Amino acid sequence: MRLTSLEVKGFKSFADKTVIHFNDNMTGVVGPNGCGKSNVVDAIRWVIGEQKARMLRSGKMEDLIFNGSKGRNASQLAEVSLTFENTKNQLGTEFSTVRITRMYFRNGESEYRINDVPCRLKDINNLFMDTGVSSDSYAIIELKMIEEIISDRENSRPQLSN
């Protein structure tokens, strides 16, 4: 199983559809402060099921939707898709390519999809069962978490998974 792409639209700072392709040589996302690196991590955590807005550096789920700017209208939904190569059948499906999508609408409704077929969050959790991939796993970490591990101020290591 390998992450091949991330597609983001209307999520946090990503007003327009943005696609990031993860080729075989990619090991991380880097860039200057304020360019959206943390929002990339938040998008990945969110699409695989994170339910706590606080873990996504937001006050409430509605805050995840692009809120507009001086020259742009606010989006009506946040949509994130991850595409995985499943040629080794590590995911619980027979498909060699698996695309999971999460959408959240301004009216509070949400929708999950696997390969463009509506599903439940439970179905996505089941898909990733026993793979080590989940919204609270150590497979997805951000710089802030690394800094806390290294400095271990106030014995913060046990709190990282909360």
91 pLDDT above the threshold of 70: yes
Count structural domains, the chain: 1
pLDDT of residue 145: 61
Q: What are the pLDDT digits (tens) for 107-130?
A: 999 999 999 999 999 999 889 887
- The residues near 123 (Cβ < 8 Å, ≥ 6 apart) are 112, 114
CA atoms within 13 A on the CB side of 52: 7
To the question of pTM greater than 0.75 for the whole model, the response is: yes
- Cα dist from 66 to 29, 61, 105, 144, whole Å: 21, 11, 11, 23
- For residue 26, what are the domain limits? 2-159
Range with the poorest average pLDDT among 77-81, 95-99, 150-154:
150-154
56 or 154, which is more confident? 56
73 pLDDT above the threshold of 90: yes
**CATH at 155:** 3.40.50.300
Rounded Cα distance, 84 and 104, in Å: 21
150 pLDDT above the threshold of 80: no
152 pLDDT above the threshold of 80: no
Rounded Cα distance, 20 and 24, in Å: 13
138 pLDDT above the threshold of 50: no
- The residues near 121 (Cβ < 8 Å, ≥ 6 apart) are 49, 112
Mean pLDDT of the 81-100 span: 92
Q: What are the pLDDT digits (tens) for 12-70?
A: 999 999 999 998 887 778 889 888 888 998 999 999 988 888 888 899 999 999 999 99
pLDDT of residue 89: 84
162 or 32, which is more confident? 32
